Amino acid sequence: MKNKFFISFATLLVLASIGVHWYLYDSNRNLATEIEMREQSIQQEMQLLEESNELQKSTLEEMTKYIEEREASYELLSAELTEEFERLDAEIEKLNKKEKSFEEEKADFYAQQSINYNSQPIVHTPEVDQEALESFKKNEETLKRIDEIDKEIYNLEMTRDTLRRGSDAWQKNMNRHIALNQEKIDLINTLQ
C-alpha cells in the first residue's frame, strides 16, 4: 500500500515535471518565435530606413547640383547683363553728347537766325518753312519720348531693388530696361 502510494506520487511528480518542462519549452519556443519576428521586423525597418536615407541623400545631392547650376546661371546672366549695361551706358553717354551738341547747334542756329533777321530781311518759301516746321515737330516729339523713357527707366530701377535677384519679375524688369535703353539710342540717332 505504501509502495503503491509512493509510485503514484512519483508518477504524479514525474508528470508534473514533464508538464512544467513542456510549458517552459512551449513558452520559450513562442518567445523565440516572437523574438525572431521582432528581429525580422527591426531588420526590415532598418533596411527601409537605409533606403530612405539613400533616397534623401540622392535627392539632396540632386538639389545641391541644381542650386549650384542655377547660381552659376545667375552669375553668368548677371555678368552678361552687366556687360550689356556698360555697353548701353557708353552708347548713351556718347549719344547724350550728341544730343547736347544738337541743342547747342540749335541754339546757335536760332541766335544766327535772330541776327540775320535783325540785319537783313529773310526770304521765306512755303517749302522751306514747312520742312523746318516738320523737322522741329519731329525733334520735339522725339525729345518728349526720350524724356518718357528716362522716367520709365528710373521707375524700373527703383522697382528692381524690391525684386528677388534672378526671379522672373527681375528678369522681365532687366529685359524691359535694356529694350528702353536701345529705344532711347535709336531715337537719339533720329534727331535732326
Interatomic CA distance for residues 92 and 155, integer angstroms = 18
125-162 pLDDT, tens per residue?
555 556 666 777 777 888 888 889 888 888 888 888 78
Q: Is the pLDDT of residue 3 over 70?
A: no
Interatomic CA distance for residues 23 and 175, integer angstroms = 85
What integer pLDDT is reported at residue 182 of this predicted model?
Answer: 86
Question: pTM higher than 0.85, yes or no?
Answer: no
The set of residues, in sequence order, having a beta carbon less than 8 Å from that of 140 and lying 6+ positions away, is none
